Structure 1
């Protein structure tokens, strides 16, 4: 827990932070590392970055993206950087910085929201998702779990709606209003924030009604004992879709899954498509789904749920198909068979189906409970840390734990770093552009 600083590393470290989550997390990590006697640097790319962290240790990059590789390469070398810390590995500025850091043998720490949320953060060495170095061999996973030992999974740091939304609005509005200060900044989101927020506010007004409609539709399926599978939608701007999959839009995923379902699923089976809770309605998914239903002759067997929660579906679902959403891990924890279309971090033989999608509809395999328990302990002890950016008490805890892992060079430890990334070859074979 935060308190006296005992973060001691044998050699002096020079740690550079790029963009972090929309939270004081990175600044607090930097403070702990500085208090331990090391040097801290920060590069701000936009006004929102500056709002979260500004001071003498900060430098602003205001040039066009084409100048970034040369700038970051020189910055790393001139300042003798030993560690690079960033949130998400596929933002334009981040993936170029990672390439430069690897060439200079710099430790790379990548953060993301926790796989075991709420109350956890992800911290991996070099990359995430299909670029994760966490092993995908069941024997190796069990070996790590044995080394990790017992883990306290008790719920901590429940999320705050305020901390999930208000920092996001402030950050993005600052980038709009103060754009002249960083005129060339290229945001990593695909929609302009102001119309996105307006759409989100309008959708929020109809949330109660949509949830009621979904609950009634689910009750009908359950009452009629209708077997159904679930496909959770992912956001068009999600890097899991944009960079870690071969698909240009989630509409491609919908057509692929519905085509397979029409060809191979039992006639009695139904398919439920569940909207993402942060979707603001740009894509008109009901229309996309309706056209696919007509194309494949699936009238009456496909349902679009624009609300509700996945947990209620898991209690009755025959299985779940996902691109590579973290929701797949939640399904596995509920004992639901899962088929991923792209290798996710939990896509391990014995947990998820390795059979073709056409076979999954008729023979969905439940996850091995013992392997799942080992996997959860393994990731909790190696690539997850306690803490949360969506809880005021959770931020300092996350900062302390992440700073400690960075300084003692225990990223992906014990024994959870495999090189090359074990999912990458399978992903590339599917057409993932990495």
Structure 2
């Protein structure tokens, strides 16, 4: 029996952490979980689970006391910039624990990220020296099983998480979410934006894109990120997406070719609450470039990338897609792919005239190494994706599935399965009093 003990902090709003913990536990390891809110409680196991209801300032001392009692060896969490994790990580690093940090995939779809100690701007692979990526060629590239669409299970899990947050809020009086808006406001925003996009905007904007491409008029692409994204708030010089929009539009107006167009594409999961389109219209009018700016709520990203004269972004994973499609790219924030030879390094004002495509040989080396060392096939949301992600995670953590109950996780499922959540995630759910038992 091994002496490793795993502590789970806050995860993604799906059953992934619960299922991963069960798989680890079934192989002889002790697993513990901390719930910080009702949503965490909804997706938690019934055993070895603690409720943290104090203030964030009290968290390090509370965790250290738990460590003294149980002697954890490994910590697992999703995202290293959430307020909870920012409080906890210095303690775990001082104690010398193995820290496993999950994040959405650096390459999407079909991949998730798992790194030691940090992700994105805190990744151990963050290096701007091209020689770093060229010195260790990867002999065999990982292959990915296609995951398929996961919007419906993702939306279902998110709704359950938010409802549980509201239902159990008295038990967590000091919890503050890292998201900027309350759940009901976000859902109202989506309820207005999503049907409109589907009913008429997708067709109308597809026509706009086709006309722009057919005109042979040069255009630059600015894909927006979510305002709540840590990539914006932590790993960039901007405090908001709209500050970035103003900066880019001002530079475009002054330095881009006079006959070029700036295409600003909204994020597909944006709630619409910040009214980016209205902000773009106001700024364009002020800069006298209204006829040179096109705002899109939808649009096929690969098509836009294939024909654009250049892509401007902060640090979105759209950057890797832009590099793949040969689009000259500039990253305005801290990004793993912001490397001389891949992205433009001489500043935004010069980019409009001097941007150039990436070195595809260097990009291939970059992609292979990042996938080999940080990416796991799967996702956090769908049945098939979770199965594959758990199998890859166990291998990455050097945990070999040995029991019959765990073994099926290793068998890829040939097609996505659509079924109610109760059927997908472990059959009939236990009663609430057992499912959410805490100590």
Q: Same fold (TM over 0.5)?
A: yes
Check the 8 A contact 1:324/1:343 in 2, yes or no: yes
* Distance change in 2, residues 1:74/1:407 (3 Å): farther
Distance 2:395 2:89 in 1: 21
**Alignment size in residue pairs:** 398
Structure 1: tracts of 5 or more residues without a match: 1-7, 410-434
Give the equivalent residue in structure 2 for 1:423.
none
Mapped pair 1:242 → 2:229: no
CA-atom RMSD in angstroms:
1.7
Check the 8 A contact 2:14/2:154 in 1, yes or no: no
Deviation of 1:361 after TM superposition, in Å, equals 0.4
Mapped pair 1:205 → 2:175: no
Mapped pair 1:283 → 2:255: no
What SS is found at the alignment partner of 1:393? helix
TM-score, length-scaled by structure 1: 0.88
Q: Deviations over 1:88-113 (max 9, x none)?
A: 11111111111110111111110011
Mapped pair 1:225 → 2:216: yes
Mapped pair 1:39 → 2:30: yes
Check the 8 A contact 1:32/1:400 in 2, yes or no: no
Deviating more after overlay: 238-247 vs 313-322: 238-247
1:291-330 matches, within 5 Å, as 291-330=282-321
- Aligned partner of 1:140 among 132, 135, 150: 132
Check the 8 A contact 2:110/2:144 in 1, yes or no: no
Give the equivalent residue in structure 2 for 1:55.
46
* Distance change in 2, residues 1:352/1:61 (3 Å): same
Check the 8 A contact 1:271/1:301 in 2, yes or no: yes
Distance 2:20 2:135 in 1: 30
* Distance change in 2, residues 1:337/1:153 (3 Å): farther
Higher relative contact order (Cα pairs below 8 Å, separated by 6+ residues): 1
Distance 2:92 2:376 in 1: 24
Deviation of 1:84 after TM superposition, in Å, equals 0.9
Give the equivalent residue in structure 2 for 1:421.
none
Q: Deviations over 1:368-411 (max 9, x none)?
A: 111111111101110001121232122122112112222479xx
TM-score, length-scaled by structure 2: 0.87
Distance 1:90 1:83 in 2: 18
Give the equivalent residue in structure 1 for 2:167.
177
Check the 8 A contact 2:189/2:271 in 1, yes or no: yes
Distance 1:100 1:352 in 2: 36
Distance 1:335 1:391 in 2: 31
Deviation of 1:152 after TM superposition, in Å, equals 4.2
Deviation of 1:135 after TM superposition, in Å, equals 4.1
Deviating more after overlay: 154-163 vs 375-384: 154-163
